[in-house]
Chain A
Amino acid sequence: MNRGPLLGELAVLDDVGPPRRGRAYPAAGVSWALLTPAVLLLGGLLAWPVLRTLQASVTTDGRWVGAEHYRAALAAPGTAGVVGRTVLWALVVPSVVTVLGYLLAVASRRSQEGRLVRLILVVPTALPLVVTGVTFRLLYDPDPQRGLATLLLARITGRPPDQVPQLLGPELVTVALMSAFVWAWVGLAMLVFRAALDTVPTGLVDAVRAFGGSRRDVLWDAQWRPLLLRTVAVVFALVAVGTSRTFDLILVMTPGSVRDEAAVLALRVWQTSAATTTGEGAALGVIWLVAVTAGILVAALFVRQAWPPPRQSAAPAPAAPPPRRWLRLLAAGAAVAWLLPLGVLVATSLQDPVRAATESWWSGPPSLDSYRAVLTGAELWRSLGFTLVLAALVTAAVLGVALLAAYPLAWLTGPAAQATGLVLMVAVVVPVQVIAGPVNEVLGVALSSGTARGLALVHVALGVPFAVLVLRNAFADLPADQVRAARVGGRHWWGTLRRLVRHNRTAVLAVAVLEFVQVWNDLAVGLLFSSPDGAPLGLFLSEQTRGFVAGSGTLAAGCVLASVLPVLVFVLARRHVVAGLVAGGVR
């Protein structure tokens, strides 16, 4: 799973807002036919596994045992720490990301260097979390010969290197993981804030100024109250939900001896059950599922009360002054700080394999030997090819299923619309580790367990809820005359659907890009449902971290090669992605 799709919560959270007008509806029989693929996928690979997990958490071999598994799971050593860390992640990281994201969005608006700053900050957003983990593990290496952060700490504190606090050691490992996570997510928060700031009506700002309002008044009356409160809530909620993806980072960044000190619920559930169903694992999973669901529902309801969506679209104000000096300095500083880890990764990849394992990356002359080593081996190519085909097929399947389902759902109004919206939203945030065991049971029945087909099916099922949400909102928000034209022009439902898709190209593109990048960057799904038909990139790279230092040169080279495509796709399409996702409220 990847952070990308959560961007859509902007559009998604509107579902709980005012009821939508029904427009492009097909006949009832056709509706059900169109919904069938989505219902089958979500029912079989999400809903049933969730129910099965619930059942497994209160039974042993089909026998009712009440809360026994819950008691056992909670009494297991370290569980309190695991739950505590999970909560800490869900509170601290979103706060930091939200504040930084807002400041950087303001700082990089309307200034010349802003474009470049934004570009630099967006790149980590598109990286696989596996690559982020490798990058920060290189940066934080406890050996001052390799770990730049350790070297700097030793210089600053004036202590000998083996007395310096270890960033990957048991005391600080959670801080180290959080820093990597913030690095990866701030760009996303910044993009969302920027899109929000651009929709603030300029008239409002002018009006506040005209009445003698100070900068603070402008911020409070023209930005915070009408708009930012909601955006902050959205960003906070989506980052909080996103912290469940620390799983990838923990697997890649932590040496085995500190894994327990870093563990969160995602990891504990996986360690307890892996891809099978166990009572204790299910109990932990249910606790986690309830927390995530409650969180997303509270966020949705809170947002609904806070904000009636603005109807007018506004161009960015050309006359507004550029940001203050300290903000611009902050932006420049952030750009440098965000570039540094990327530099470490690239520099390490440019060492030959033996040097990368034994010397500092800053001391030797660059060499392409590590690249040569990975490119001449068959494994990376096989993995790249497999991942490309997988991501392309899954994206096509998700789009197909979601378009068919979004079309009939777009005519729902009132409580029915809100209920579907909520159900889909909950489906978006179900952590795959919780349902892995039951999903494998379903795949076993469908002859797909342990095959590439099974892996693809799981990806499709996990991607569909989000795609349906976004496309449904986009369809429902089309101006009436476009819908009418589509219905008059296309005599059959598929003609109408085709025309609707043409009018919604941005949303479709946004969904396609996010789905593709998500599958490409995935680790958790590949880890749980991999097959001998081919190792997805995330899995291929993460398996090499078992000999992290010895293989760091080729691993870094593999990471760089694996990142090129998602970064390129995401950076090129970032404007469409954001536009497509916020389209629901603005167009």
Chain B
Amino acid sequence: MTAAGRLRRRTLLRAAAAATAAGAGGCAPGRRSVQVAVVWSGSEMARFREVIAGFPAPVQAIGVGNDIDAFLAARQLAGTSPDVAILSRPGLIVEYAQRGWLSEVTPAASYAAPAGMADLLTVDGRHYGVWIKAAHKSLLWHPPSMLAEPPRTWDALVALTRRLGARHRAEAGPAPLAIGAADGWVLTDWFENVLADVAGPDLYEALARGEADWQDEPVRHALDRLAELWSVDGAFPGGGRRALLTQFEESVIQVVHHRDAVMVFEADFVDAIDARFRRGTEQLAPFRFPGAREADQPLIVGGDAAVVFAGSTRGVELVRWLSDATAFLPWLEAGGYLSPNLEVPVDHYRDPLRRRLATELLAADTVQYDLSDRLPGTFTGTDGVGIWRIMQDFFMDVTDGVAATAAIRRATGQLADAARAAGSRR
């Protein structure tokens, strides 16, 4: 079927669906609220509802669980797509745009996304989405009382880990690092930070686009660095085997509640888990993921972007409204929200942590977007699949005494195979 044919059929079906809904609901089709599909739930969803309450027309936010891709594909098939969807995988947005599922959007005047994020939502010079939420993914966290002087270079981090690891092996202190290796995305975030530092923006970008070879020297170098750190004896509480059964939240609990480890790596949302499980009043303090030199600090970001499904004019209006610098003010004031919009004044942030991170976003010339979220098809990873699985195999190898060179050869081979299978151009 041609794109036009598909569109016509979908329009017809949607009209029919709207008529049915209107018949059942007893109101005119034009008054239907704008539907937004999101993956958020719980408190994030509540905050988002506060935000959209400010839109002049009624907006209905629907939480669709974690598999939003399957949901949107099914809705598209049925011709009942929501007006707007909020997605965190730019790769998926490009895919949808190329299939003709999306409408072009025009952001508000007061919208400016960081370089490195903005162009991810562009296909053939057309904008298909706006960023509405960001996550800062280059942070290591520690209780200040357990670690006075955070390491500022990668070598210092390795040296600290070796020292604390030796002490931990002698049962004289906590392990240096907690890591939720049961969740593959934690390991890919580690890898991305090191890769961004070692490989530089060009290769990072080329890998994300499927234009570079995963067996290239910089990839091997990045894995070698990870192996150097992860293979330190006594690096993790309970060892590598135990770490592979530890989920992300539990790894934070190991630091903030049990004090079994000194540092934990992850994005800015660690502070919410800290607030829930900390013992006493001491808060975790973050420091930047260290690079090779003190001046090199990789900045990996994640985020959520809003897209509009083809033919929804009110969706376009809503997305333009959401991209305005003042739209997310309620969430900004409640805390726990980092805006990707550089036009949002830093002093609008209430919590000091987000204010600091927003400043870092502003100061960066360019940011690197989460690599695994940009990979195509199943390569992007989920439990037991794709790059998540490959990094977990690698973690298992290096913590289990397999020589780094052998582990790296295996991992890069798997990465190259997965990239090929996912239809990358290489």
Contacts and interface: CB of A to CB of B under 8 A. Distances in A.
A256 B387 CA distance: 12
Given A256-B383, A444-B74, A358 B247 contact: no
Interface stretch (B91-99, B181-189, B307-315, B344-352): B181-189
Nearest to A449: B78
B194 to A, nearest CB: 20
B74 A440 contact: yes
Given A166-B245, A451-B80, A550-B249, A275 B74 contact: yes
Contacts of B63: 532
Identify whether the interface residues of B are mostly helix, strand, loop, or mixed: helix
A532 B71 CA distance: 9
B238 interface: yes
Contacts of A379: 41-42
A443 B71 CA distance: 13
A357 interface: yes
B257 interface: yes
Contacts of B58: none
Interface string A422-443: 0000000000000000001101
Given A166-B245, A169-B241, A358-B258, A449 B66 contact: no
Contacts of B66: 543, 546
B364 interface: no
B242 interface: yes
Which of A357, A448, A535 counts the most chain B CB atoms within 10 A?
A: A357
Contacts of B385: 271
Given A275-B70, A354-B276, A358-B257, A547 B17 contact: no
Interface string A113-157: 000000000000000000000000000001000000000000000
B262 interface: no
B184 A550 contact: no
Contact of A450 (B71, B238, B378): B71
A394 to B, nearest CB: 19
Contacts of B365: none
Interface in A433-483: 440-441, 443-444, 447-451, 454
Contacts of B65: 530, 535, 539, 543
Contacts of A529: 74
Interface stretch (B211-219, B353-361, B368-376, B388-396): B388-396
B384 interface: yes
A274 interface: yes
B244 A255 contact: yes
A548 B80 contact: no
A274 B244 contact: no
A286 B361 CA distance: 51
Interface string A205-217: 0000000000000
A135 to B, nearest CB: 17
A259 interface: yes
A112 interface: no
Interface in B215-266: 238-239, 241-242, 244-245, 247-250, 253, 257-258
A532 B62 contact: yes
Contacts of A346: none
Nearest to B67: A274
A166 B241 contact: yes
Nearest to A168: B245
Contacts of A169: 241, 244-245
A549 B75 contact: no
B247 A548 contact: yes
Given A162-B238, A257-B182, A257-B392, A547 B247 contact: yes
Nearest to B69: A274
A504 interface: no
Contact of A449 (B67, B75, B273): B75
A335 interface: no
Which of A255, A260, A267, A529 counts the most chain B CB atoms within 10 A?
A: A255
A358 B389 CA distance: 28
B46 to A, nearest CB: 10
Contacts of B17: 447
B277 interface: yes
B415 to A, nearest CB: 13
Contacts of A549: 247, 249-250, 253
A448 B78 contact: yes
B277 A447 contact: no
A168 B73 CA distance: 34
Contacts of A274: 67, 70
Contacts of A546: 66, 247
Which of B37, B182, B238 counts the most chain A CB atoms within 10 A?
A: B182
A444 B250 contact: no
B57 interface: no
Interface of B: 13, 16-17, 20, 37, 41-42, 62-67, 70-71, 73-75, 77-80, 181-184, 238-239, 241-242, 244-245, 247-250, 253, 257-258, 273, 276-277, 378, 382-385, 388-389, 392, 395-396
Given A169-B241, A440-B77, 9 more contacts: A162-B242, A166-B242, A357-B277, A358-B258, A447-B20, A451-B78, A532-B62, A546-B247, A550-B250
30 contacts: A161-B238, A166-B245, A169-B244, A170-B396, A255-B244, A255-B245, A256-B388, A257-B184, A260-B384, A267-B384, A272-B378, A276-B70, A276-B73, A358-B258, A379-B41, A447-B78, A448-B78, A449-B74, A449-B75, A449-B78, A527-B67, A529-B74, A530-B64, A532-B37, A532-B64, A550-B247, A550-B249, A550-B253, A550-B273, A550-B277
Closest 8 CB pairs of A and B: A259-B384, A550-B249, A444-B77, A532-B62, A256-B383, A449-B78, A255-B182, A450-B74
Interface of A: 142, 161-162, 166, 168-170, 254-260, 263, 267, 271-272, 274-276, 354, 357-358, 379, 440-441, 443-444, 447-451, 454, 527-532, 535, 539, 543, 546-551
